[in-house]
Structure formats: C-alpha cells, structure tokens
Amino acid sequence: MNTWVAIVAIVAIVMCADVCKRFAKARSAEKASEEEVEQMLAKIQLLEDRIQVLERIVTERNFDLKQKINNL
C-alpha cells in the first residue's frame, strides 16, 4: 500500500507543478498584452494627431488656391 501512496503523491506533485507553470505563463502573457494595449493606444493617439493636422491643411483657404494654381 505504501507504494501506491507514493505513486499517487508523485502524480499529484507533478500535476500541481504543471498547473503552477501554466498559471505563471498565463500571468506573464497578460502583462505582455497590457503593454501591447498601451503601445497601441499611444500609436492611435499619434495617428489622431496626424489626421487633425491633415484636416487643418486641407480645410485651409490657401490649400484650395494652391491646387487651382497647380492645375493651371
């Protein structure tokens, strides 16, 4: 009977170690995804700023005049 108890204990230890390993891996992946989200938000903000500049350029009165001159 002691042999079976030892086998069950070894299997339980291995299973617990595997669960802990997977949990740690999931936590590290979650942290990485948070960093990716922050990077994406920063990139979106940069793109929004660029779009605002482009909109301001296109809606200027001088822009239309420059296009008419270039078309001539």
What token pair was written down for 8?
């069950």
- Residue 35: is its pLDDT beyond 70? yes
Quick one: DSSP state of residue 45?
H
Please tell me the predicted confidence (pLDDT) of residue 44: 92
- pTM for this entry: 0.47
Please tell me the predicted confidence (pLDDT) of residue 1: 59
Distance CA(71)–CA(29), nearest Å, equals 55
Place of tokens 């948070």: 34
Q: Let me know: does 58 contact 66? Beta carbons within 8 Å.
A: no
Q: What are the helix and strand counts (H, E) for the chain?
A: 2, 0
- Residue 12: is its pLDDT beyond 80? yes
- How large is the C-alpha radius of gyration of the chain? 30
Task: Output 7 or 66, whichever has higher pLDDT.
Answer: 7
